[in-house]
Structures are given as structure tokens and as C-alpha cells.
Amino acid sequence: MDSSKSLSHQVMDSQFDPESSWITVMCRASRFQITVCLKDLRGSCFELEYSQLVAKVDDMDGGDDDDYEALCSWIVEPCFPYFRERTTHVPKDLTFEAFYYPPTYHLKLMVSGSSLCAKATRDCHSINPFALMIPSRDLPQYPQVCCSKASDIRIVPAVTETYDYMSEIPRKASLGDGTIRFFKPALDKSQIIREIDMHSRILNAGLKGKIRVANFHSIVISKDAKMTIGLLFDFIPSIGESLQSPQCKMASEHHAKWKQQVTAIVKELHSHDIVWGDVHPGNIVIDKDFDAWVVDFGGGWIGDFVDRKKAGTKEGDWQGVQRIFEEWITR
């Protein structure tokens, strides 16, 4: 539908089943829990449509991204009129607390004549309100690390063709003094723990400010401190691109310099027994002076750059650097 182009939204969570499915959608700083049940579609053309779409996705076990997006769009688009009605007066100035604890509406898809429509319904308790957060009690204590209350920091407004700050996970935060920080969401417990641990080691090794690694600022917690929402880092004044971008990949006159800079950073980290971990072009940020920075110490790997068996090791770091600058960037 054309309406999908004029109403930015993001699917945050989902569960699909032949009999009943649900998705959680953020739209204009509001959360919508949408449920669809096969029994409510019986006897209509939508019964077959739904069954075919779910069969392709099969909870992502046998489907692909296109199948997933097709099913999500099929569920979401009938809800756009309701989205618009409920989000008319949403303030544009948002704190992180307001985004992560938004007004929530529960909807159910029903057949009305020859159309699908959204009907407000009671809370079916299928939603996980903390899907994008980690309980603080599940994380180690970090007394040496500062915490920022989500209610005290604001989302930096940004709307582009691919991003809308009111509907998608925030990227930039503005502190009370106007300082801009980069925000990394707490989507994975092990990655958040590793990120904090590695940056603590960087600080203890006296490397802060000596190598081009974004300085860790604080842990973002909910107002009641029960949930950990993400991490804040010093903002890199970049050209807005990582090495993965076509713009940087084509800037061949800088490639030798970037290889030397990344190599020097990795050598310094390794001399203090600190492993970068997730080495790939998207984790090399190019700043406004066309210098290379290393980001993301949460671990993980991409097989095109680091073999799984070498992930999280010094050998894996060097394998990634070699594959980036001697193979990938020259293609």
C-alpha cells in the first residue's frame, strides 16, 4: 500500500504460528501489539493468504528476509489508520525513557467485508515489554562505570530515507549539557558484558585517548534502574560512513593509510591482551579527517572475514584485518 511509505514504523519483536501470530511494532514513539488468529479469518480470502505467508516464514527456520517482511507488511498495513489516529499528538522531543516505555496499544486483525481491519482489544499478555532491554540484575556490577538515567537523556532527532528516530532504536543521545553521544542498544547480554569488560581494560591499560577507539561513557539504565537499556560512547565526528560504505571502499588513495592505522591500533590492543573480536569493514569508522577508528568490542564474527574457530582470538583479529585490506577492499 502507498500508505506504508508515509508512515514510518519498525517491527521490534514477533512470533509466527499457523494458528495465531503476533508482532510488536514501534510507530511514532508508540508501541502496537498486533495479533492475528486463523479462526478470525475463516471463510475469507485472507485465510489462505495468511496460511501461505506463515508457511513460507515458518518462524524464520525455513524462510528468508523477504518472506518475513512480506508477512509483517501484511499484518501491519491494515493497522495504519489506527496508528495515525493514536499518534497525532506525540511530542517530537523524546527521552530514552519515553521511547523504551511508550504508550502501548493492543490490536487484533479482523475481517470486515472484503477488507482486513484493526480492532482494539484487551491485553493478551503476548507482548514482551522488555524485549529490547536486559534486567540489570542479570549483569555483573560495574561500580567503576558511570550510569546515565534514560529519563535524563534525549534522542537526537533524525529522519532519513532509512531511519526515523521516533520508530526505530535510537542511535544518538543528547546529554543534559548538550553533548552528543553514540548509543549502542543492549540487545545481547553476552555482547554488552564483553563490551564493558573490554573498554574497562582499555581504560585500565592507559589507552584512553591514545588510540582511535571510541571512549566508553556510561551505561544507560531505566529510571528505576531495573533495566539496562544500552551503552553510551563518545561520538566520532565521522563523515557518516564506515569502511563498508561504497564511498570509503572507492577512496583507494586512503586505503594504505587506513590499513596502517588499523594495524597499529590492533597491535596496541594485543600488547595489552585485548582482543578486538568482531573484525569487519562495518566496524571501522572513518572520521572527518579521513582517519580510521576501531569500534564494537561486543564479540561475534562474520565468516567472510574471520573463521568461526578463530573468533575472539588475536589470530582472528589479524585474519580479519588481512581479509579486509588485502582481499575485500580490492574487489
pLDDT for 307: 96
**Residue closest to 292 by CA, chosen among 215, 231, 214, 233:** 214
**Residue for grid cell 475481517:** 111
- Name the stretches of the chain with pLDDT < 50: 1-5, 62
**CATH class of domain segment(s) 134-234:** alpha beta
User: Which CATH number is associated with domain 238-330?
Assistant: 1.10.510.10
Q: What is the DSSP letter of 215?
A: P
Q: What is the DSSP letter of 164?
A: B
183: which 3 cell numbers?
A: 548509543
- What is the rounded CA–CA span in Å between residue 34 and residue 40? 13
Residue positions counted in the chain: 331
**Can you give the residue ranges of every domain in the chain?**
2-120, 134-234, 238-330
pLDDT for 298: 95
28: number of Cβ within 10 Å: 20
- Fill in the amino acid letter for 289: D
Per-residue CA distances from 95 to 61, 91, 151, 170, 246 (Å): 36, 10, 6, 10, 33
Q: What is the dihedral of CA 70, 129, 120, 39, to 10 degrees?
A: 60
325: which 3 cell numbers?
A: 585490506
pLDDT for 312: 95
pLDDT for 60: 53
pLDDT for 4: 43
- Phi, psi (deg, nearest 5) at residue 136: -60, -30
166: which 3 cell numbers?
A: 521516533
pLDDT for 122: 82
C-alpha triplet 199, 135, 230: angle, nearest 5°: 40
